[in-house]
Amino acid sequence: MTFNSPEFWVALMQIIGVNIVLSGDNAVVIALAARSLPPDQQKKAIAWGSGAAVAMRIVLTIVAVELLRLPYLKLIGAGLLLWIALQLLLPEDEGEGEAAATGNLAAAIKTILIADLVMSLDNVIGVAAAAKGDVTLLVIGLAISIPIVIFASTMLMNLMHRFPIIITAGAALLGWVAGEMAISDPAIKDWIDAHMALLHYAAPLAGAVGVVVVGKWLASRAEQEQLDEAMKEIPATAPPVQAGAHRVLLAIDGSAHSLKAVEQVLALRKEHQGVAPFQVHVANVQTPLPGDVSPFVTNASLQGYHKEQADAALAPARALLDQAGCQYEVHQQVGDPATTLAALAKQLGCDQIVMGSRGHGAATSALIGSVAQRTIEHSTVPVLLAP
């Protein structure tokens, strides 16, 4: 491939996409593994971990270039890429990971090194597959991946948290690359070229679509199981209230539109003042991190991360409620926001959900449907959307 060929630029875009998704997860692990350390030790842990990532990417890329020339290894690599893609779509596991919650620098560096080794292998296979053996593309892909891991961890974490469609698109891209990789294996390439040329288009498409369909199905099952477990902590029957009382679930994600929902609740409270009791439950639901992160960090670290994010999102809304003298209870959950909010409202006996019409993920609502739209679909009580 040459710089003037469309294939070169398509492959380069694939490499960049693979790096963004897979290096992003690597960066998340580095940040979570170091988060319990003092600030000065955090910098050391990240520096050591990132340095190890650079060295391992160089070695593994050189090895991958040669190994993928051998028969059947591309088929194995394609299977591994499909597995990696599915893991991206699964929610984090609530079980303990490899790291020990000691807050020790050596333990954090060990966790980062292990995660770098495993995730660098994933990344290198993806880059090598997308590059199709082109040395120039491999070098460019490696040059892109290194600064992403070292400098962009916070940015990538925030982007993936606010726009989950990035992870879905990345998983589909890995499925596409896996399909291309499988049919280019030296053991079967000549036969496919002679008898099944259509597979050059069908296999990548099947890989991309299959990963998203199967991954979303597995993710929905896992999320439902986690939701069922979370709901067990909430009383099966709502606490009794006086006749005519109004119990509201206020959904907050930290966006400007969710703050408008606070204003809507305060207006409802004013209408009910002196007429009937008015109870407010404030909820924030954190989207789970990708499933391939959890094996490398502790459950306590994941919970701490989600709590920090939830506290930050809830702070402006709580300030407005406190200023108005409004009593409320806070609920923090991890899961699919729409289904979790609907289930929480039912379990708490709320007779209304109030939320912003758009949230942080509004830019992707046209593709996957907004949280507000999906909450309306799942909720058994009315949903009031603040404009």
* pLDDT for the residue 150: 62
* pLDDT score of 321 more than 80: yes
**What is the Cα–Cα distance from 203 to 287, expressed in whole angstroms?**
31
Element (H, E) at 383: strand 383-386
* Together in a domain, 207 and 61: yes
Token pair in block for residue 142: 């490696």
Token pair in block for residue 353: 């959900």
Token pair in block for residue 244: 């005519």
Domain-located, residue 368: yes
* SS3 (DSSP) at 37: coil
In order of 233, 247, 345, the CA distances from 238 in angstroms are 12, 10, 10
Average pLDDT of the chain to the nearest whole number: 77
Q: What percentage of the chain exceeds 70 in pLDDT? A: 70
pLDDT digits (tens, 9 = 90+) for 200-254: 889 989 999 999 999 888 888 876 776 666 556 555 555 554 445 689 999 998 8
**What is the Cα–Cα distance from 219 to 301, expressed in whole angstroms?**
22
Q: Among 207, 228, 249, identify where a domain stops.
A: 228
345 vs 364 pLDDT, higher one: 345
Element (H, E) at 164: none
* Together in a domain, 203 and 348: no
Asked if 243 and 277 count as a contact pair (C-beta separation under 8 A), the reply is no
* Placement of tokens 């980062």 in the chain: 112
* pLDDT for the residue 96: 45
Question: Which of 19-28, 121-130, 308-317, 353-362: highest mean pLDDT?
Answer: 308-317
Confidence of residue 119 (pLDDT cuts 50, 70, 90): low
261 vs 21 pLDDT, higher one: 261
Q: 163-198: b or e for each residue (b if 16 or more CB lie within 10 Å)?
A: bbebbbbbbbbbbbbbbbbbbbbeebeeebeeeeee
* Together in a domain, 206 and 310: no
Determine what percent of the chain falls in helix, strand and coil, rounding each to the nearest 5: 65, 10, 25
Helices assigned H by DSSP within 184-198: 189-195
Domain-located, residue 134: yes
Domain-located, residue 1: no
CATH of the domain at 352: 3.40.50.620
- Spatial CB neighbours of 320, under 8 Å, sequence gap ≥ 6: 259, 262, 263, 266
In order of 242, 289, 385, the CA distances from 107 in angstroms are 54, 22, 46
* pLDDT score of 258 more than 70: yes
* Together in a domain, 50 and 106: yes
Domain-located, residue 14: yes
* pLDDT for the residue 90: 76
* Together in a domain, 78 and 223: yes
Token pair in block for residue 359: 């949230």
Domain-located, residue 233: no
Domain-located, residue 260: yes
Q: What percentage of the chain exceeds 90 in pLDDT? A: 17
> Domain containing 88: what range?
6-228
* Together in a domain, 153 and 247: no
For residue 376, the tally of other CB atoms under 10 A from its CB is: 16
Residues 145-170 have a mean pLDDT of 68
Asked if 156 and 148 count as a contact pair (C-beta separation under 8 A), the reply is yes
Domain-located, residue 234: no
* pLDDT score of 114 more than 60: yes
Q: 52-67: b or e for each residue (b if 16 or more CB lie within 10 Å)?
A: bbbebbeebbeebbee
Nearest Cα neighbor of 317 from 336, 337, 332, 302 is 332
CA atoms within 13 A on the CB side of 236: 0
Residues 322-337 have a mean pLDDT of 91
* pLDDT for the residue 5: 77
Please count the structural domains in the chain.
Answer: 2
Residues 100-127 have a mean pLDDT of 66
* pLDDT for the residue 361: 45
**What is the Cα–Cα distance from 97 to 298, expressed in whole angstroms?**
5
**What is the Cα–Cα distance from 273 to 264, expressed in whole angstroms?**
14
* pLDDT score of 31 more than 50: yes
* pLDDT score of 312 more than 80: yes
Asked if 285 and 337 count as a contact pair (C-beta separation under 8 A), the reply is yes
**What is the Cα–Cα distance from 246 to 38, expressed in whole angstroms?**
46
* Together in a domain, 207 and 265: no
Residues 111-139 have a mean pLDDT of 71
**What is the Cα–Cα distance from 153 to 49, expressed in whole angstroms?**
12
58 vs 384 pLDDT, higher one: 384
* Together in a domain, 190 and 79: yes
* Together in a domain, 37 and 176: yes
In order of 126, 133, 202, the CA distances from 191 in angstroms are 24, 20, 16
* pLDDT score of 166 more than 70: yes
**What is the Cα–Cα distance from 132 to 15, expressed in whole angstroms?**
10
pLDDT digits (tens, 9 = 90+) for 361-387: 433 333 334 788 888 888 889 999 887
Residues 309-320 have a mean pLDDT of 93
Q: Among 185, 200, 228, identify where a domain stops.
A: 228
